[in-house]
């Protein structure tokens, strides 16, 4: 029995995100100066994969300005009724006022935030630098941290009193989250700790990154499974597992 079949050449945005590397690249492409064109590309526009240094011959999509802000191709998400993100005293670091900052042993551009998407309800504290990254909901970034080429999925709830005051105000207390590490002196809060360096990483939800941690794949490992330590490495990308606690001073 025959059927009448028609084919349609789909020209819109599509990307297989079935691997860690593909998921990471697709998200970071959104933070680039161009836009992932969800309606289909335009000739002459730059390619997101070229920007990310993908191998020749890899699937690609075209990008053009502006991205999530096109009424002809709206992007919807679940409403969470969170406050706007807060950047606290972004130029408090003296080196930044001179034009560059020495963060994590590396000279970083003076821009506190450069080529980044920051979700609702985040708190970014003084001296921190965020470059080429996507920061998820409720992320707390402590002082003088460096986040570069990184996807952080955020947190499911606020935890510390400090973050609660910063984004909600004293009149809107939050119910205690289902964790033992809540409002305890010396406890590492969910988020990125003071002086931490996170580079080329994928950070799952509710991860605690301690002070002066370096997540930089220092040994240049391509593949590793250290789930018992809270992370794996896939395609050279360090993936911090959900609810992981990376203790202060750790170097990965």
pLDDT tens across 27-45, in order? 998 888 765 556 554 433 4
Q: CA 75 to CA 71: how far, in whole Å?
A: 9
Q: How many domains does the chain divide into?
A: 2
**Residue 97: per-residue pLDDT:** 38
Same structural domain, 138 and 235: yes
Name the DSSP class of 167: H
**Cβ atoms of residues 31 and 116 within 8 Å:** yes
CB-CB contact of 148 with 200 (8 Å): yes
Is position 252 within any domain?
A: no
Q: Which of 18-22, 103-107, 198-202, 239-243 has the lowest mean pLDDT?
A: 103-107
Is 64 a residue whose pLDDT tops 50?
Answer: no
Q: What is the mean pLDDT of residues 32-60?
A: 50
As a dihedral over the C-alpha atoms of residue 41, residue 137, residue 205, residue 139, rounded to 10 degrees, the angle is 120
95 inside domain: yes
Domain of 64, in residue numbers: 1-70
Q: What is the mean pLDDT of residues 118-126?
A: 94
Contact 210, 192 (CB under 8 A): no
Same domain? 32 vs 91:
no
- Per-residue pLDDT of 170-180, as tens digits, reads 434 444 444 54
Distance from C-alpha of 233 to C-alpha of 216, rounded to nearest angstrom: 11
E-state strands within 106-196: 106-109, 113-118, 123-124, 129-135, 140-141, 146-152, 191-192
Q: How confident is the model at residue 219 (pLDDT cuts 50, 70, 90)?
A: very high
- The verdict on 146 and 42 lying in the same domain is no
- In percent, how much of the chain has pLDDT > 70? 66
């Amino acid at each position: 029995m025959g059927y009448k079949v028609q084919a349609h050449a789909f020209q819109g945005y599509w990307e297989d995100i079935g691997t860690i590397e593909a998921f990471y690249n697709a998200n970071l492409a959104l933070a680039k100066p161009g836009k992932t064109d969800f309606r289909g590309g335009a000739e002459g526009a730059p390619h997101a994969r070229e920007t990310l240094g993908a191998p020749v011959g890899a699937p690609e999509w075209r990008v053009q300005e502006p991205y999530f802000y096109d009424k002809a191709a709206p992007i919807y998400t679940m409403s969470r009724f969170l406050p706007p993100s807060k950047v606290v005293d972004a130029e408090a670091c003296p080196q930044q006022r001179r034009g560059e900052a020495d963060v994590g042993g590396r000279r970083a551009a003076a821009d506190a935030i450069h080529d980044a998407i920051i979700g609702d309800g985040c708190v970014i504290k003084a001296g921190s630098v965020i470059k080429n990254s996507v920061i998820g909901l409720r992320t707390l970034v402590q002082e003088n941290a460096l986040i570069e080429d990184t996807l952080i999925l955020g947190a499911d709830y606020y935890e510390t009193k400090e973050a609660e005051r910063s984004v909600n105000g004293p009149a809107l207390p939050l119910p205690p989250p289902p964790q033992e590490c809540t409002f305890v002196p010396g406890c590492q809060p969910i988020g990125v700790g003071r002086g931490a360096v996170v580079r080329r990483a994928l950070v799952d939800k509710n991860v605690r990154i301690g002070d002066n941690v370096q997540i930089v794949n220092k040994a240049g490992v391509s593949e590793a499974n250290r789930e018992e330590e809270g992370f794996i490495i896939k395609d050279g990308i360090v993936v911090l597992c959900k609810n992981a606690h990376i203790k202060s001073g750790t170097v990965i």
